[in-house]
Amino acid sequence: MNDGAAGRKLVVSLHDATPFHLDRLRKAEGVFRDLGLAKVTYLFVPEYHGGYPAAADAGFRTWCREDRPFAVDWHLHGYHHIEKPEEAGTAAAGDYLKRKLLTGGEGEFLALDAAAQRRKLEAGRESFRACLGQDPMGFVAPAWLFNTELIPTLRESGFHFTEDQRRMYRVDDGASLASPVITWATRTWLRKYGSLVVCPTLARLWVNEPVLRVAMHPFDFDHAETLANIKSVLRRVMRGREQAFAGDLEF
């Protein structure tokens, strides 16, 4: 017989930290504080959709460095957070419309070759440094979509952690850890109301998973029903789990 909750981990993340979403991010932080979360991973977007350069926004830079009643581990999260087909090369650009249909156009890293990925990682690191005064330890591809070039490129570029929708990866040696993720959708009516049923169901189904992730997006905080659902799922999964960052986990 195992001893129940011992050793089970919870990794909570807030996606899409960008000046575009600053009001929503503040709202999310109020929720985290009220729930008593201890650790939240924030995913930093350098230039959201090409129009919101984080490093050029003094108010956003100040917000990045604010004290919070919980610990924050910042990771880099794409560069534009939207696919620019002209960056992918001709062969890959041909499939752009198909990918757009599947990813909503958010699969920024999916079709990029290693050189294009490296350029975005370096530019992203500059913006990250300007806002946070440190280098990113981890990188999360927008929509968790990437190709086989990403992990070797991250390793060369000095990143240590990444993740997709099923697993977390330690980049240095390629080790990975099963860690399913609960996340809400709000883009369409069907997905929004589907999430309100699916997310609590997953929280029950995955109660014995050694590592569980909960990922939230700024738009979630515009929807009262989604927000209530998030709070209820977080309260449930916080019980009996130790909150963790990628660097705390044993791969």
Q: Tell me the C-alpha distance between 120 and 109, whole Å.
A: 9
Extract the runs of DSSP E, i.e. beta strands, from the chain. 9-17, 39-44, 47-48, 52-53, 71-76, 161-163, 167-170, 175-178, 181-183, 211-216, 242-243
**Closer residue to Zn ion, CB minimum distance, 32 or 144:** 144
> Is the Cβ of residue 49 or residue 155 nearer to Zn ion in the bound state?
49
168 or 241, CB closer to Zn ion?
Answer: 168
Region binding Zn ion by CB under 5 A among candidate stretches 11-19, 58-66, 123-131, 170-178: 11-19
Query: If we measure between CA atoms, which residue out of 9, 120, 24, 136 comes closest to residue 72?
Result: 136
Determine the interface stretch with Zn ion among 9-17, 24-32, 114-122, 158-166 (rule: CB under 5 A). Answer: 9-17
- Other C-beta atoms closer than 10 Å to the C-beta of 34 total 10
- To Zn ion, the closest distance from the beta carbon of 20 in angstroms equals 12
Reduce the secondary structure of 148-197 to three states and give it as a string. Answer: CCHHHHHHHCCCCEEECCCEEEECCCCEEEECCEEECCCCCHHHHHHHHH
Residue 16 touching Zn ion (CB under 5 A):
yes
Q: How far is the CB of 14 from Zn ion (least distance, A)?
A: 10
CB of 45 to Zn ion, least distance (A): 7
Give residues 94-153 in contact with Zn ion (rule: CB under 5 A): 142
Question: How many angstroms separate the CA atoms of 243 and 228, rounded?
Answer: 21
Which residue among 15, 21, 80, 192 contacts Zn ion (CB under 5 A)? 15
Least distance in Å: CB of 197 to Zn ion? 23
Q: Which stretch binds Zn ion (CB under 5 A): 16-24, 88-96, 155-163, 187-195?
A: 16-24
Query: Would you tell me which residues interact with Zn ion (CB under 5 A)?
Result: 15-16, 142
